[in-house]
Amino acid sequence: MATLNTWRLALDIKQWVVTAAEAVKLHLHDDLKVNTKSGRNDLVTNIDKTTEQYLVQKIRAQYPEAKIVGEEGFGDQVEDLTGLVFFVDPIDGTMNFVKARENFAIMIGAYLDGKGIVGVILDVMKDELFWGGPEFGVYKNNLPLPKPKNITLSEGLLGMSGPLLVHDVKHVAAAVTASSGARIFGSAGIEFTKVIQGFENGYVSKLMPWDFAAGKVMAETLGLKVTDIDGEPLSMLSSKIVLIGTERTHAQILALQ
Amino acid sequence: MATLNTWRLALDIKQWVVTAAEAVKLHLHDDLKVNTKSGRNDLVTNIDKTTEQYLVQKIRAQYPEAKIVGEEGFGDQVEDLTGLVFFVDPIDGTMNFVKARENFAIMIGAYLDGKGIVGVILDVMKDELFWGGPEFGVYKNNLPLPKPKNITLSEGLLGMSGPLLVHDVKHVAAAVTASSGARIFGSAGIEFTKVIQGFENGYVSKLMPWDFAAGKVMAETLGLKVTDIDGEPLSMLSSKIVLIGTERTHAQILALQ
């Protein structure tokens, strides 16, 4: 993998994601086959599955040595992060997709020996493609995104997970009260796009690696902090309560723990 | 007012709102003059004020006998609802406007002798114009919206106000837990557009008349219930915790009180 061209990799991922989105949009008003996974509000549809199958097939064809962590199980059983690893979330915000056909994202994060190199999040219905990495900076479609201002908790909107706020896990209610207000969009990918644009100063949610892999690459490239809620580094192989924020907001929310 | 042409009235309001939005967009990246009103998270900008001034001027020119209830105070001191009354919210979701330049709405509701006849909500950044009334039905741009399915609380996403959820006012946490999840968009106008499209099965928030006047007309036209959180009719001249929902969701949330 010493010869990996990350610019080519970024272009490949963008093409796959945009092509996958075109297929999703073609079937947008079909009847969905909806099933539950871990609970009644953890959904998967036939579209999640076919989208992941498509993305996995493209990755395997172009990068046959890579490993794939996919939400819907069409990837590999990945137990270590050596080499090139793709994290695939075919439809992030499946509940929004099912109920509202908006505010869902297709996401791929590519990591080399555990280090994020490319992140891509497509807000499908807004046609907004967020992509980037430490070598390129971060872009919204074709325009570079500036680094968000290092605002404090009180100066911005705080993206939240509904369940964490309802049960006030990890003092998130106090964080919301100190902020300019909570927002709940119901998709980690969509929330990452808000934070990297500076629309929110932070976001807290319990996430799986495919939920945060792409966003983490872009957020860190823009100088944002991404850790677990206790300030520890995230594992790319397990679920954590994730805290993303400007440096100041991140520190203020950590201080509540 | 016996000769009021409500079709003409709807066209007038749509034209004013869309024209006002064009002016807002022209100034979208200007530095805003932001001031607080009732508290640090209750904002008003120069754009709220100039937009309301424009809308009030158009109303007064075309409907000189009408009364105007305007959020920013350029209307009248309205103490009764006889005749034609316009409720104007020049920028609903000012916090979103200031922080994110998205998810804000321009809204006008027109009432005749206390009865809603025209409601218009423009999601400015999505260019989605929701308008309608009991004489016309409800439209998104040029296409009619079907009546939302009468789904139960557990079958849909519940739009929430952040402060009500953080403080669990009126058992909203239990309502959220029984639903498919909470969403917080931070604008009553935007939340109304979600409910009338069937993206959410209900919405709960403490609102002023200009926050709900337009949405109430459209919601009721589509068979949704709009009352206060205890099931009582709303006053068009005072603030209440407002509950909007499908018949079933509305009844289930009332049963929690």
Please indicate whether, in this complex, the C-beta atoms of A199 and B102 are within 8 angstroms of each other: yes
Q: Quick check: helix, strand or coil at residue A46? A: helix
CATH code matching the domain that covers B6-144, chosen among 3.30.540.10, 3.30.70.1520, 2.50.20.10, 3.10.20.30: 3.30.540.10
Nearest CA in chain B to A195: B100
Domain B153-255 in CATH 3.40.190.80 = yes
Percent over 90 (pLDDT), chain A: 98
Q: How confident is the model at residue B3 (pLDDT cuts 50, 70, 90)?
A: confident
Please indicate whether, in this complex, the C-beta atoms of A184 and B183 are within 8 angstroms of each other: yes
Q: State chain A's mean pLDDT as an integer.
A: 97
Every domain of chain A with CATH number 3.40.190.80 lies at: 153-255
Which residues of chain B lie closer than 8 angstroms to A158, CB-CB? Answer: none
Chain B interface test: which of A165, A200, A206 (most B C-beta within 10 Å): A165
Please indicate whether, in this complex, the C-beta atoms of A182 and B181 are within 8 angstroms of each other: no
With b for 16 or more beta-carbon neighbours within 10 A and e for fewer, the A153-168 pattern comes to: beebbbbbbbbbbbee
State pLDDT tens for residues B161-172: 999 999 999 999
Pull the structure tokens for residue B30.
Answer: 């200007």
Please indicate whether, in this complex, the C-beta atoms of B162 and A176 are within 8 angstroms of each other: yes
Pull the structure tokens for residue A40.
Answer: 């009644």
Please indicate whether, in this complex, the C-beta atoms of B200 and A99 are within 8 angstroms of each other: yes
Nearest CA in chain A to B185: A183
> Which pLDDT belongs to residue B2?
55
Every domain of chain B with CATH number 3.30.540.10 lies at: 6-144
Q: What is the ipTM of this complex?
A: 0.97
- Given a contact cutoff of 8 angstroms between Cβ atoms, the answer to whether B184 and A160 are in contact is yes
Q: How far apart are CA A248 and CA A251, in angstroms?
A: 5
State pLDDT tens for residues B30-66: 999 999 999 999 999 999 999 999 999 999 999 999 9
State pLDDT tens for residues B232-252: 999 999 999 999 999 999 999
Residue with tokens 């316009």: B86
State pLDDT tens for residues B181-232: 999 999 999 999 999 999 999 999 999 999 999 999 999 999 999 999 999 9
Q: How confident is the model at residue A3 (pLDDT cuts 50, 70, 90)?
A: confident
With b for 16 or more beta-carbon neighbours within 10 A and e for fewer, the A28-58 pattern comes to: eeeebeeeeeeeebebbbebbbbbbebbbeb
Which residues of chain B lie closer than 8 angstroms to A101, CB-CB? Answer: 199
